[in-house]
Structure 1
């Protein structure tokens, strides 16, 4: 522990690390010392194989990759300092890296919450705004549009339109990422909401389908704001943002159809690997159903192993 105490003094005085950081270093280095003691090794005899084994133990115990990376960073700095002091000949942590963090699952609403948000009607709100906002929710959830695709829609097709609605064909023609065009089916509920909105929108010089009270094309920020306010009105547990409705659309279509290629086309993904993340959401949904319904199911532990 003498070397560890000297190193902590070094980072506290010479490197002037924050007290909280020094406390974390001390905690991680005590763990390193304990591992070495259990293996009957002095700290200067620790090898790369030992470090890898201890990292594997942390990983199997449920430590997140980011946490493992912080532990490794601390140990690596400690052994680098020992090398500078001439106390060791090589750094056993130098070529050890934390496991890659898994791609986080997109946040999606449950079906009941999505429907509650889509069916929300506030009788005290301005009818013009309420009709517009309801149509926006239906288009985001019912068509899986990106917010930029939604705000780029015009009420009618034209030579200058980035995207437009064809209610007769019940299709939305959108301009997606990489300036790629695609056609997306508009469901009956979304079509009904659009017809109601167009009836109160009236004739305007602005070609945009969705406009602000001042008559200008709605911005992405305005859509984010109205969704946050609308989700709170609907009593949802967390604020909703546009991409969450896109995730919900993809997850719910996949749960019902299991057609990954169709979901890829609907979302406009160039690579199906991008769409495959929703299979993980689909399995998560199936796992919850199994745990709730099967008499021999066992609840899965949470991230802390409880």
Structure 2
């Protein structure tokens, strides 16, 4: 345990974050980032902006990625803001601290036709796990769920008659998401055979009737793709990306897709506008009054 004066209030800070329902994984990341930081700071309760800039530079020289540096900066800022709020820090030295810019990576989406062909390839005599896998994939692609959201679904989150489900997303925020007709059928087939241990409320369970974990779902998804001759690696996140990209291409409604995905900031959704540049060019050519191509007849 570090005795660095900068961490005097770390335990109280982590307790407050836990009360704000931060996940155990997030709390551990905060603590690790802050303890690592104190190995780079001078032994003082009042580190300066220069001290933080030097720490950032050291981590960068060690080859730490831009994405990781950005996450660490965020943890530093939040802790310093807390210290300033309780009066331990006179000024927040991280207020204008900037990490290296993260290169923007486009989400990997699966071709619509390829994905639909795979979804339609159910075995003639599906087994229990086949029915579960089909319902899982239909939900990922049909409703754009995150892996953690799907794992946490309970029976009382699903409203098949009305055609929607209640999702608990990041920060324990709830949103209502519609179900496709294919998802409803797949869920009905799964619920007819779903094993459940005593008092188990999970929608998706193992053969022993207990809630299935995220790692198991990811492995089963790879198996599902391989069974259908899909050479490309498929992950839950790719199906969510495909949901967003395909929906945005068809609707051009960025705000609606933002709500369906549960994105707090529109900037998180805007990245999907770059998934299909050819499609956007086509929309531009067809709709912008100055984009029409002129023929020789037009000129004459």
TM-score bracket, shorter-length normalisation: 0.5 to 0.7
Question: By how many angstroms is 1:284 displaced?
Answer: 5.0
Residue 247 in structure 1 maps to residue 248 in structure 2: no
For residue 137 of structure 2, what is the aligned residue in structure 1?
Answer: 137
1:48-101 superposed Cα distances (whole Å, 9 cap, x missing partner): xxxxxxxxxxxxxxxxxx9xxxxxxxxxxxxxxxxxxxxxxxxxxxxxxxx956
Q: How far 1:267 moved relative to its partner?
A: 0.1
Q: TM-score, normalised by structure 1?
A: 0.57
2:148 corresponds in structure 1 to: 148
Corresponding residue of 1:185 = 178
1:6-21 matches, within 5 Å, as none
Contact 1:108 1:251 in 2 (8 A): yes
Distance 1:214 1:175 in 2: 25
In structure 2, the CA distance between the partners of 1:203 and 1:212, relative to structure 1 (3 Å rule), is closer
Supply the distance in 1 between the matched residues of 2:150 and 2:107 (Cα, whole angstroms). Answer: 20
CA distance in 2, matches of 1:202, 1:100: 48
For 1:231 and 1:260, locate their aligned partners in 2 and report how far apart those are by CA, in whole Å.
29
Of structures 1 and 2, the larger Rg is shown by 1
CA contact (8 A) 1:166 1:172 kept: yes
> Residue 217 of structure 2 aligns with which residue?
223
Question: Hey, what's the Cα distance between the residues in 1 that align with 2:197 and 2:161?
Answer: 21
Q: Normalization by structure 2: what TM-score?
A: 0.58
Change (3 A) 1:264 1:253: same
Q: For residues 192 and 278 of structure 1, do their structure 2 counterparts lie closer, same or farther at Cα, with a shift above 3 Å needed?
A: same
**Does the residue aligned with 1:133 lie in a helix, a strand or coil?**
helix
Task: Give unmatched runs, 5+ long, in structure 1.
Answer: 1-65, 67-98, 157-163, 291-295, 297-306
Compute the RMSD of aligned alpha carbons: 2.4
d(CA) in 1 for partners of 2:281, 2:231 = 22
Instruction: Give how far 1:238 is off.
Output: 1.1
Indicate the SS of the match to 2:221. helix
Q: Deviations over 1:162-194 (max 9, x none)?
A: xx1111211110110111000100011101111
- 1:272 equivalent in structure 2: 266
Note if contact 2:135-2:187 (Cα within 8 Å) is conserved in structure 1.
Answer: yes
Residues 227 and 239, structure 1, Cα contact 8 Å, conserved in 2: no
Structure 2: state its 5+ residue gaps. Answer: 1-65, 67-99, 285-292, 294-300
Q: How far apart, in 1, do the equivalents of 2:226 and 2:179 lie?
A: 26
**Helix, strand or coil for the counterpart of 1:172?**
strand
Q: Which residue of the other structure, out of 155, 170, 174, is the alignment partner of 2:163? A: 170
Distance (whole Å) between structure 2 residues aligned to residue 253 and residue 192 of structure 1: 21
Equivalences, count: 186
What displacement does 1:282 show? 3.1
Partners of 1:115 and 1:209 in 2: how far apart?
24
